[in-house]
Amino acid sequence: MGRLSVSLCGISLDNPIIPASGCFGYGYEFAEIYDINCLGSFSFKGTTLSPRVGNPTPRIAEARAGLLNAVGLQNPGVDAVITQELPRLREVFHKPVIANVSGFSIDEYVSVCAKLDAQPEIGWLEVNVSCPNVHGGGMSFGVEPQSAAAVTRAVKAVTKKPVILKLSPNVSDIVSIARACEEAGADALSLINTLLSMRIDLNTRRPLLANITGGLSGPAVFPLALRMVWQVSQAVSIPVIGLGGVSSAEDVVEMMLAGAAAVEIGSANLVDPLICPKILQSLPAVMDRYGIENLKDIIGGAHG
């Protein structure tokens, strides 16, 4: 095992760098640019039971230190993912991959997770109860402990692989939701998803996004994400994956010191498609600068 290696739910990763769902497609798009097997893993595009065309355009808007998206979980549906996307993914990525799952009812979450759990290339199921860009699903399951726990229990009943609950920052008490998911059987947690936000076009005097609101990501959200990772990792005993505005090796180290066992990188991939290999290349020098021998030794190290 190398200096960068970590473990996530008992599965070894060569390093903690994981491109986040929605910012990396199904992997093969980025495989045209670099060998994505350098990554620890990646979380593929959010998958639902039925195909979704997503929200109307425009559904991307810039902000000073990030971007807003209201894509709306556009995807071909779980059956097409299994028959079309996973075979292509298998050709370019030879490690366990994270399947990101969304739903509009508990039954949908269960159906999608059961189908994906049976696929050999999938190592973990990341259950998204935090998407702010769809109506009647996603975030509605993750805004209070009981509903998040209900999804967790239902999914755990039909799966054998580790289940990661992806949590929303758009709540008053993320710790109580995290604890409820852990008690319901979650194997890990990932946080944070995007922050519900909006922009207005001064010329038209109308919202920039057709959906009116969207999820804010990028460097602007990093301090808030770091705070929530700190709080949640102290409150639970299961692994926490940190994400939100990560765009440098220093950010990765900071997230891990706050308690993250692994780190997802989202919208930075859209700004610079080579951001993940660049971070990996610079991590050893950053570790040397701060006297870090092995990354796994610093997880939660800032807690004292």
* C-alpha separations of 109 from 6, 14, 102 in Å: 28, 30, 6
Residue among 23, 131, 181, 276 flagged as catalytic:
131
Contact of 251 with 245, CB cutoff 8 Å = yes
Contact of 226 with 265, CB cutoff 8 Å = no
131 is catalytic: yes
In terms of Cα–Cα distance, which of 278, 243, 238, 281 is closest to 262?
Answer: 243
Chain centroid to Cα 192, Å, comes to 8
Residue 177 is classified by DSSP as: H
Chain centroid to Cα 172, Å, comes to 20
User: How many CA atoms lie less than 13 Å away from 201 in the CB half-sphere?
Assistant: 11
Q: Annotated catalytic sites, by residue?
A: 131
